[in-house]
């Protein structure tokens, strides 16, 4: 509020949200009380009732749904807050880990286990990360909504469970490696989002492609070869079989499945970016597409210029056509 917002306004980030739909009592009642996504039969009924063509009614519902989405300014502030945290905690993690023996030799994660002292720096690192992911899990319900809400919520639950479980069972050494490895890609992602909101398209595309490389290398390369290798094989060789080992590894494998899912989406977006010259719309976008609004398809009924039964009037009223550009979409 006091730092990100002034920065956003200084960078000329758009403060207003998606374009508002023209007020219409009948459609508003359907939207709030019945459905936000009317089917074909309901659309035809509304078309006859209002003397609108179906396309106009579809457009009204799309604009009304987008109306509830947050503004670009709010999304920029959210991304700047996360960028600041990820940059800080990743820097702290690197400074801490470069002094530890288990960064260079993962077998040291199990040396003397479970009687390993909990160093103050490690304790601070864990508590800050855990508090951040707890906040994400709850704030996800009031923050910018994404289409992969369920996947992200699952990710936050798995992450919080992993951090808590590894802390309780004193598997904190390997836990610090996992935390640091996951933070690096998020820094670039939030930077790409901010560049996109500022309409710096070339910088945004460059950062997104950088993020794609960093994410795939860290989550599909380093994570299984470095982290899973030591938790599945080196831990078993050092300490044998015990229940916590299997619980820990199951959680890590669930995390890897999520990595594979997101990598598919990232590769798909990166391919479009290379083939079309710019990063295409992300499937997680929180604003619905309205490209069909630009199509010049003749309408079945003429617009009204007089006050209709629903109480709206004017060229931009009863026919449902609204002027203005579509909202920015993030990577």
User: Average pLDDT over the chain, rounded to whole?
Assistant: 81
How many of the other CB atoms lie within 10 Å of CB of 24?
23
Residue-range domain boundaries for the chain: 19-68, 72-275
Residue 258 structure tokens: 């999520």
Q: How far is Cα 282 from Cα 310, in angstroms, rounded to an integer?
A: 37
* Backbone φ, ψ for residue 119 (5° rounding): -70, 150
CA-based radius of gyration for the chain: 25
Confidence (pLDDT) at 64? 81
Residues 6+ apart with CB under 8 A from 179: 89, 93, 125, 126, 129, 163
Confidence (pLDDT) at 328? 38
Predicted confidence (pLDDT) per residue in 204-248, tens digit: 989 999 999 999 999 999 999 999 999 999 999 999 988 999 999
Confidence tier at 17 by pLDDT (50, 70, 90): low
Predicted confidence (pLDDT) per residue in 267-319, tens digit: 988 888 778 765 544 445 454 444 444 333 334 443 333 333 333 433 333 33
Q: Alpha helices of 277-301 — where are they, by DSSP H?
A: none
Confidence (pLDDT) at 206? 92
Longest dimension (CA), the chain: 83
Place of tokens 């044998």: 240
CATH class name, domain 19-68? mainly alpha
Does residue 5 come out as left (phi exceeding 0), alpha (psi in the -120 to 50 range) or beta? alpha
């Amino acid at each position: 509020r006091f730092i990100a917002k002034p920065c956003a306004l200084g960078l000329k980030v758009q403060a207003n949200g998606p374009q508002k739909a023209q007020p219409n009592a009948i459609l508003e009642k359907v939207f709030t009380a019945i459905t936000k996504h009317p089917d074909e039969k309901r659309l035809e009924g509304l078309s006859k009732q209002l003397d609108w063509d179906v396309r106009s009614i579809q457009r009204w519902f799309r604009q009304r749904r987008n109306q509830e989405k947050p503004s670009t300014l709010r999304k920029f502030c959210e991304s700047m807050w996360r960028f600041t945290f990820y940059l800080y905690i990743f820097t702290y993690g690197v400074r801490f880990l470069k002094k530890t023996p288990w960064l260079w030799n993962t077998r040291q994660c199990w040396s003397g286990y479970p009687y390993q002292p909990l160093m103050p720096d490690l304790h601070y690192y864990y508590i800050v990360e855990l508090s951040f992911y707890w906040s994400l899990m709850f704030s996800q319900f009031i923050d910018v909504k994404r289409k992969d809400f369920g996947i992200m919520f699952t990710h936050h639950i798995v992450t919080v469970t992993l951090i808590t479980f590894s802390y309780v069972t004193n598997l904190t050494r390997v836990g610090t490696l996992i935390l640091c490895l996951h933070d690096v890609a998020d820094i670039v992602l939030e930077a790409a989002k901010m560049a996109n909101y500022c309409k710096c398209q070339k910088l945004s595309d460059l950062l997104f492609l950088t993020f794609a490389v960093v994410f795939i290398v860290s989550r599909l390369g380093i994570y299984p070869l470095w982290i899973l290798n030591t938790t599945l094989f080196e831990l078993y060789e050092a300490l044998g079989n015990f229940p916590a080992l299997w619980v820990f590894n199951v959680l890590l494998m669930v995390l890897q499945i999520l990595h594979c899912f997101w990598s598919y989406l990232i590769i798909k977006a990166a391919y479009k970016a290379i083939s079309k010259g710019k990063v295409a719309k992300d499937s997680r976008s929180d604003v619905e597409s309205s490209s069909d609004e630009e199509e010049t398809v003749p309408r079945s009924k003429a617009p009204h210029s007089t006050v209709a039964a629903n109480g709206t009037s004017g060229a931009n009223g009863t026919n449902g056509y609204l002027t203005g550009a579509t909202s920015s979409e993030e990577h």
